[in-house]
């Protein structure tokens, strides 16, 4: 009887320990792809489990705004671009950047050399495909800097086409330049038969109008809870371990992403390409946000002009913290 009681107590303790894992819900900015490989790798390799976390990763999509999801209580932490996060903060959703896995930005304008575009000044008089919903800010800031009007083509202006998240406008001859990500649509342009030497690429970061891309954001009030704070420290530590593993093992990471794609829309070949390009953007990041990169993002947003989706109108305060990464890196 005594042995049975001891065994029962041991089983109960084990069950209690299993139930003790802290739950975390992560809402991604976009669909399951290598853009988020670090989180899927951390899940697959047990890094979250090692930190006593039970993490649910929710894929995003064209109809999902992470800022709205977390505001409604549907997630504890989200991945999003800083432009969207700062805009949401100014509009009453107090988001705070707690980690910045992406050190570099992948947003760029890809143009046809055959259209006579080889330098920024050549853009005048051309039709350009631009992504909106917060992705247009670097473009408008850059155009303002160049002195190019965006209300129609001409010697001092360009025609803006609201581009869907595809490369069709370039391939179908509807635009001379389109928005692309280094790790996604640029590869699709190459797959369509174009060669790098056929293209002129303007990376917004290189132009001085870059924005911080995929960062981790939580609600400011949540950080006041020591338990939540501790949970995010462990989450960030495990996530960055996942990112570093993905960088070092891109092909394996691509397969892990593919294994988590419930839609069946992704291919291993494209995820391998994407992972290798994404690794260039996360390389050198330990998760801590660089204040200089933050300042460039804010400067870009304040100089952007977009009537359809206005950028921030004032300098943000309290929009990021090193508190979580400082503890996670110890």
Q: What is the 3-state secondary structure (H, E, C) of 205-247?
A: HHHCCCCCCCEEEEEHHHHHCHHHHHHHHHHHHHHHHHHHHHH
DSSP code at position 202 = E
Residue 6 has pLDDT above 50, yes or no: no
pTM: 0.90
In contact, 199 and 171? CB cutoff 8 Å: no
**21 CB neighbour count, 10 Å cutoff:** 14
- Multiple choice CATH, 107-207, 3.40.50.450, 3.40.190.10, 1.10.10.10, 1.25.40.10: 3.40.190.10
pLDDT tens digits along 33-46: 999 999 999 999 99
pLDDT score for 205: 86
Rounded CA gap, 37 and 30, in Å? Answer: 12
pLDDT tens digits along 208-220: 898 999 999 999 9
Residue 24 has pLDDT above 80, yes or no: yes
Residue 311 has pLDDT above 80, yes or no: no
**280 CB neighbour count, 10 Å cutoff:** 14
pLDDT score for 229: 98
Residue 194 has pLDDT above 90, yes or no: yes
Report the pLDDT averaged over residues 39-67: 97
pLDDT score for 19: 60
Q: Which of 319, 112, 91, 107 is CA-nearest to residue 217?
A: 319
In contact, 246 and 47? CB cutoff 8 Å: no
pLDDT tens digits along 79-135: 999 999 999 999 999 999 999 999 999 999 999 999 999 999 999 999 999 998 778
Q: Is 308 exposed, middle or buried (0-12, 13-18, 19+ CB in 10 A)?
A: exposed
- Tell how strand 215-219 and strand 77-80 pair up: antiparallel
pLDDT tens digits along 264-289: 989 999 999 999 999 999 999 999 99
Q: Which of 222, 245, 249 is CA-nearest to residue 233?
A: 222
Helix (H) and strand (E) counts in the chain = 14, 10
pLDDT score for 8: 44
pLDDT score for 240: 98
pLDDT score for 307: 62
Residue 15 has pLDDT above 90, yes or no: no
N residues, the chain: 330
Residue 247 has pLDDT above 90, yes or no: yes
Rounded CA gap, 171 and 66, in Å? Answer: 31
In contact, 140 and 305? CB cutoff 8 Å: yes
Portion of the chain with pLDDT greater than 90, in percent: 82
The residue extents of the domains of the chain are 22-103+212-329, 107-207
pLDDT score for 2: 43
> Any idea which architecture 22-103+212-329 has in CATH?
3-Layer(aba) Sandwich (3.40)
Angle made by CA atoms 272, 274, 280, in degrees to the nearest 5: 110
DSSP code at position 144 = H
Mean pLDDT taken over the chain? 92
E strands, the chain, are 22-27, 53-58, 77-80, 95-99, 107-112, 127-130, 159-162, 177-181, 199-203, 215-219
């Amino acid at each position: 009887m005594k042995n049975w009681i001891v065994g029962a107590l041991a089983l109960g303790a084990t069950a209690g320990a299993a139930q003790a894992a802290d739950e975390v819900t992560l809402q991604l900015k976009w669909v399951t792809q290598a853009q988020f490989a670090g989180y899927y790798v951390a899940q697959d390799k047990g890094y979250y489990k090692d930190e006593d976390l039970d993490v649910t990763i929710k894929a995003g999509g064209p109809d999902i705004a992470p800022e709205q999801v977390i505001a409604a209580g549907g997630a504890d932490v989200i991945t999003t671009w800083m432009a969207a996060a700062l805009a949401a903060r100014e509009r009453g959703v107090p988001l705070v950047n707690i980690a910045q896995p992406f050190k570099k930005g992948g947003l760029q304008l890809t143009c046809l050399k055959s259209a006579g575009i080889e330098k920024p000044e050549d853009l005048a008089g051309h039709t350009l495909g631009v992504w909106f919903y917060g992705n247009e800010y670097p473009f408008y800031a850059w155009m303002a800097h160049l002195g190019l009007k965006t209300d129609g083509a001409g010697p001092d202006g360009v025609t803006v086409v609201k581009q869907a998240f595809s490369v069709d406008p370039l391939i179908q001859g509807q635009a001379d330049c389109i928005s692309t990500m280094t790790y996604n649509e640029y590869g699709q342009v190459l797959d369509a038969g174009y060669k790098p030497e056929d293209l002129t690429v303007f990376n917004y970061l290189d132009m001085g109008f870059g924005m911080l891309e995929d960062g981790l954001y939580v609600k400011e009030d949540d950080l006041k809870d020591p338990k939540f704070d501790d949970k995010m420290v462990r989450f960030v530590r495990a996530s960055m371990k996942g990112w570093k593993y993905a960088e070092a093992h891109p092909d394996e990471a691509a397969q892990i992403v593919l294994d988590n794609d419930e839609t069946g829309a992704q291919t291993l070949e494209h995820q391998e390409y994407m992972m290798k390009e994404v690794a260039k953007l996360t390389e050198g990041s330990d998760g801590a946000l660089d204040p200089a990169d933050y300042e460039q993002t804010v400067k870009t947003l304040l100089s952007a002009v977009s009537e359809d989706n206005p950028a921030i109108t004032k300098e943000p305060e309290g929009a990021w913290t090193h508190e979580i990464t400082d503890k996670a890196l110890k």
